[in-house]
């Protein structure tokens, strides 16, 4: 009973909407699929066709679609106060309550929250904060940022520079000499003959050597996702994050854990840093699952130590001149509060801890298809890497467009999965049941078999 003029929508969109991340070699022909409604783990296009949402919108719709409680919480907040500035000495009830809740959920001394409207803005803002922090400490040369090849941190000029996915920068400029990349800690692609343990040692040495090469007095921050998302769902070797933090601490480099994807249950805990990886970062940046996509919101969680430096009153005029009109937007914060309330009430993290290993095991059943090279990831953040030869790990030629073809075939069969080069990535709503996992994996099996 859906009532959309799908053809008119398709045309308006194609002719007027400049889409993010779009391949214009095909866009003007194909246009966009119009996703009009959602319910649980399913979305519906404007013609009413149902799909399993294997990507959770974009790694973000953690509690699933169509939650009436969420709609009511947003409407209620809009009635009370739709917006008010939180600059200087102003706040709103949801902004205050959510900050306290996030401080309670965050690991260790991350007790201070700065709001943004998304992940890029969180990462962009923290770079400015940390430079400000070191300026206040009189360490004015500490400015450089270290990040990893294939890390993804956003799409602003600075965060696209911090991003280490080469493909994402083609044709664009970056900020020279501010950001330096070390190799991706991808165990699947480690040098031949090296054990995962030796590879882990090498990755840590890469970080320490880079700090020494740049001069510790010049290095301010290290950015890392607990599990790299857009760069190919890369789980680093065991102990990597904890050891990387020790290296950072040795040289007074702030460890920024980018939990834009891994936060809010995707790996079975509200935050993955400490609970999944035994890492106590100096900062967590997050977004996406904080509201499950019901509103745009991002947050930076700062340690007491950083907060104490940046909040010390200094000479006249030296205030923290950083903020966005929509920092702490009350409707977005109300969405965050209700989202967390639902997650806690339904023990969504517990569900992910139970169903996540099953999901991975079911995906591993695809190893009987010869083009499946690697199934990796954790809990509700998984991917399949397709290869021409499993033994040599040689890739299929780019013109095979294997990721795209499989995802197109899957979509025809009623599931949306995300192609990234020769990978297909899965990050569904966290409410997915085992039976729904079976449905999704069966569609991927059929699609991959047809694509071979």
Residue ranges in 272-301 that form contacts with ligand PLP under rule CB under 6 A = 287
Helix residue ranges, H only, 91-176: 93-105, 119-136, 157-162
Q: What whole-number distance in Å separates Cα of residue 105 and Cα of residue 344?
A: 11
DSSP assignments along 165-203, one per residue? -GGGGTT----TTTEEEE----GGGPPTT--HHHHHHHH
Q: Using the minimum distance from each CB to ligand PLP, give the nearer residue, 135 or 156.
A: 156
Output b/e per residue, 133-165; b: 16+ Cβ within 10 A: bbebeeeeebbbbbbbbbbbbbbbebbbbbbbb
For 10, 88, 372, 385, 406, the CA distances from 452, given in Å and listed in that order, are: 31, 59, 10, 13, 9
The answer to whether the CB of 363 falls within 8 A of the CB of 441 is: yes
Q: Using the minimum distance from each CB to ligand PLP, give the nearer residue, 206 or 225.
A: 225
Smallest distance from ligand PLP to CB 438, Å? 27
Residue ranges in 54-83 that form contacts with ligand PLP under rule CB under 6 A = none
Binding segment for ligand PLP (CB under 6 A), chosen from 32-40, 103-111, 112-120, 330-338, is 112-120
DSSP assignments along 73-97, one per residue? HHHHHHHH-S----STT---HHHHH
Smallest distance from ligand PLP to CB 98, Å? 17
Interface characters, 176-215, with ligand PLP (x: CB under 6 A): ----------------------------------------
Smallest distance from ligand PLP to CB 391, Å? 32
Q: Using the minimum distance from each CB to ligand PLP, give the nearer residue, 208 or 258.
A: 258
Binding segment for ligand PLP (CB under 6 A), chosen from 49-57, 117-125, 387-395, 408-416, is 117-125
Binding residues for ligand PLP, total number by CB under 6 A: 14
Binding segment for ligand PLP (CB under 6 A), chosen from 25-33, 40-48, 254-262, 414-422, is 254-262
Smallest distance from ligand PLP to CB 381, Å? 10
Q: Which of 45, 206, 208, 258 binds ligand PLP (CB under 6 A)?
A: 258
Smallest distance from ligand PLP to CB 140, Å? 28
Smallest distance from ligand PLP to CB 120, Å? 3
Spacing of C-alpha 355 from chain mean position: 20
Q: What whole-number distance in Å separates Cα of residue 236 and Cα of residue 383?
A: 14
- The token pair that represents 236 in the structure block: 């680093």
Residue number of the CB closest to ligand PLP reads 119
Q: Using the minimum distance from each CB to ligand PLP, give the nearer residue, 280 or 427.
A: 427
Quick one: DSSP state of residue 236?
Answer: P
From 397, 451, 399, select the one nearest 424 (Cα to Cα). 451
Smallest distance from ligand PLP to CB 119, Å? 2
Binding segment for ligand PLP (CB under 6 A), chosen from 115-123, 299-307, 395-403, 434-442, is 115-123
In the structure, how many helices (H) and strands (E) does the chain have? 15, 15
- The token pair that represents 158 in the structure block: 């600075």
Smallest distance from ligand PLP to CB 258, Å? 5
Residue ranges in 138-167 that form contacts with ligand PLP under rule CB under 6 A = 152-154
- 216: phi > 0 → left, psi -120 to 50 → alpha, else beta; which? alpha
Q: What whole-number distance in Å separates Cα of residue 23 and Cα of residue 39?
A: 29
Q: Using the minimum distance from each CB to ligand PLP, give the nearer residue, 154 or 200.
A: 154
The answer to whether the CB of 151 falls within 8 A of the CB of 164 is: yes
Instruction: Determine, following the binding rule CB under 6 A, whether residue 119 of this chain makes contact with ligand PLP.
Output: yes
- The token pair that represents 280 in the structure block: 């106590």
Residue ranges in 213-252 that form contacts with ligand PLP under rule CB under 6 A = 225, 229-230
Q: Which of 62, 92, 120, 427 binds ligand PLP (CB under 6 A)?
A: 120
Smallest distance from ligand PLP to CB 263, Å? 10
Binding site for ligand PLP (CB under 6 A): 118-120, 123, 152-154, 225, 229-230, 258, 260-261, 287
């Amino acid at each position: 009973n859906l009532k959309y003029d799908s053809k008119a929508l398709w045309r308006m969109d194609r002719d007027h909407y400049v889409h993010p991340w779009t391949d214009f070699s095909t866009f003007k022909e194909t246009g966009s699929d119009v996703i009009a409604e959602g319910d649980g783990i399913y979305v519906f296009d404007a013609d009413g066709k149902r799909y399993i949402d294997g990507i959770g919108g974009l790694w973000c719709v953690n509690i699933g679609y169509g939650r009436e409680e969420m709609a009511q919480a947003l409407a209620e907040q809009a009635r009370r106060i739709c917006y008010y500035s939180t600059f200087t000495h102003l706040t709103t009830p949801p902004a205050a309550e959510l900050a306290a809740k996030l401080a309670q959920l965050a690991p260790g001394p991350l007790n201070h929250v700065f709001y943004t409207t998304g992940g890029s803005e969180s990462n962009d803002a923290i770079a400015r904060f940390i430079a400000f922090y070191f300026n206040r400490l009189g360490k004015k040369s500490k400015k450089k940022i270290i990040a990893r090849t294939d890390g993804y941190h956003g799409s602003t000029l600075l965060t696209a520079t911090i991003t280490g996915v080469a493909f994402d920068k083609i044709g664009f400029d970056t900020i020279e000499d501010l950001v330096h990349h070390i190799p991706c800690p991808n165990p699947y692609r480690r040098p031949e003959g090296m054990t995962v343990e030796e590879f882990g040692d090498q990755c840590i040495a890469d970080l320490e050597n880079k700090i020494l090469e740049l001069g510790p007095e010049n290095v301010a921050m290290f950015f890392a996702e607990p599990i790299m998302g857009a760069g190919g769902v890369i789980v680093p070797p065991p102990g990597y994050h904890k050891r990387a933090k020790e290296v950072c601490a040795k040289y007074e480099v702030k460890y920024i854990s980018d939990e834009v994807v891994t936060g809010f249950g995707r790996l079975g805990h509200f935050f993955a840093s400490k609970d999944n990886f035994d890492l106590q970062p100096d900062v967590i940046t997050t977004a996406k699952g904080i509201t499950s996509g019901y509103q745009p919101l991002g947050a930076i969680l700062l340690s007491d130590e950083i907060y104490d430096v940046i909040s010390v009153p200094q000479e006249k005029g030296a205030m923290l001149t950083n903020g966005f009109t929509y920092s702490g937007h009350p409707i977005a914060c109300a969405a965050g509060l209700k989202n967390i309330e639902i997650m806690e009430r339904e023990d969504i993290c517990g569900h992910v801890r139970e169903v996540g290993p099953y999901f991975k095991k079911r995906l591993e059943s695809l190893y009987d298809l010869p083009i499946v090279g690697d199934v990796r990831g954790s809990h509700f953040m998984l991917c399949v890497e397709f290869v021409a030869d499993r033994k040599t790990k040689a890739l299929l030629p780019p013109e095979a467009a294997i990721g795209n073809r499989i995802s197109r075939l899957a979509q025809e069969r009623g599931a949306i999965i995300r192609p990234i080069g020769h990978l297909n990535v899965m990050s569904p709503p966290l409410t997915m049941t085992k039976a729904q996992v079976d449905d999704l994996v069966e569609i991927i099996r059929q699609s991959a078999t047809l694509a071979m």
